[in-house]
Structure 1
Amino acid sequence: MTKDRFLLLRPGEARPGRVPLPPAFAVKAMTGDTETRFSLLEVTLARDIPRHVHHQADECIYVLEGELGIDFADETHVATKGMFALLPHGVPHALRAVSDPPPRLLQISSPGGWEHYLEDLFEAGPAVLTDGALDPAKINPVAARHSIAYEE
């Protein structure tokens, strides 16, 4: 047992990363904290996430507040407070805010690495946007480094 990996974060506290992330993406457990097993973020989904596929990581979502639209394969679902979704790797999916204010959720990626993708994405800045929305053609070069592909 390694006690040096113990973490205790206060409400609103997040782990610092290589690139500062907006408050909507609060990293609670980094990939390095969990020996690459997973990463955990508290996310406020203010911007819809277009259809994409994770080639390696499973994504788990637990809705803390609000309503989250989930398009998974050829199905559409709405997850409300207290609901959980497992999005296995290899299956295309999209996420969108159904409620106002936008949903707040816990997002787990296993194996970890999601926070590193977000760091790269925010480092790229507006270069991955078209008219304020994520542009799959522009985001794919960043996403590919993390085994993620957006449908164009």
Structure 2
Amino acid sequence: MSQDRFLLLEPEQVRPGRVPMPPAFAVKAMTSDTEGRFSLLEVVLARPIQRHIHQSADECIYVLEGELGVEFDDRDYTVGKGGFTLLPKGVPHALRPVSTPPPRVLQISSPGGWEHYLEDLFEAGPAVLTDGRLDPAKINPIAAAYDIRYEERP
């Protein structure tokens, strides 16, 4: 019954997951909350997210504060407060903070699963880093389970 899935979160409240998330990744609706249709996170994008492609999920981003840089299909855009972007599956894209402080966004993935991918990354810890930065070659084995692939540049 849909009433059984009602969810109400107070400000600063997050959905608990398998692995604790850093404060920059606040899960508001888990995939299990939406019967798999989507996941919703409030994210502070403090570091760039390298060019990657989602084979199965569309990604939607609504900017709450700041400015977000979006590279989509080899074009660059800046999305400001109140702006929105839909990043359809199958097209390479990258994200980066443009403003100081960094942008705070709502991020929806459909179908869901993004929060579980992040849990797997945080659980892997330093094993996915090279010189303190996320390493696509080390991330890709984890990302593959979620139909995500990061570009590996020499």
Task: Flag structure 1 segments of 5+ consecutive residues without an equivalent.
Answer: none
What residue in structure 1 maps to residue 55 of structure 2?
A: 55
Q: Secondary structure at the match of 1:115?
A: helix
Shift of 1:118: 0.3
Name the SS for the 1:145 alignment partner.
Answer: helix
Q: Which residue in the other structure is 1:147 paired with?
A: 147
Cross-structure match for 1:95: 95
Percent sequence identity over aligned pairs: 76
What per-residue deviation string (whole Å, max 9, x for no partner) do you get for residues 26-78 of structure 1?
00000000000000000000121000000000000000000100000110000
Q: What does 1:37-76 align with in structure 2 at a 5 Å threshold?
A: 37-76=37-76
Tell me the TM-score normalized by structure 1.
0.98
Letter in 2 for 1:138: K
The alpha-carbon deviation at position 129 of structure 1 amounts to 1.2
* Cα shift at 1:2: 2.0
1:30 paired to 2:30 = yes
Aligned length: 152
- Cα drift, residue 127 of structure 1: 1.1
RMSD of aligned C-alpha atoms?
0.7
Shift of 1:130: 1.4
Superposition TM-score, scaled by structure 2 size? 0.97
Q: C-alpha separation between the residues in 1 aligned to 2:41 and 2:100?
A: 21
**Equivalence for 1:130:** 130
**How much has 1:133 moved relative to structure 2?**
1.5
Residue in 2 aligned with 1:113? Answer: 113
Q: Over residues 93-115 of structure 1, what are the superposed CA-to-partner deviations in whole Å (9 max), with x where a residue is unaligned? A: 00001111110000000000000
Following TM superposition, the consecutive aligned residue runs of length 4 or more in structure 1 with deviations greater than 4 angstroms are none
Distance 1:134 1:99 in 2: 21
- The aligned residue for residue 2 of structure 1 is 2
Stretches of structure 2 that go unaligned for 5 or more consecutive residues are none
Q: CA deviation at 1:131?
A: 1.7
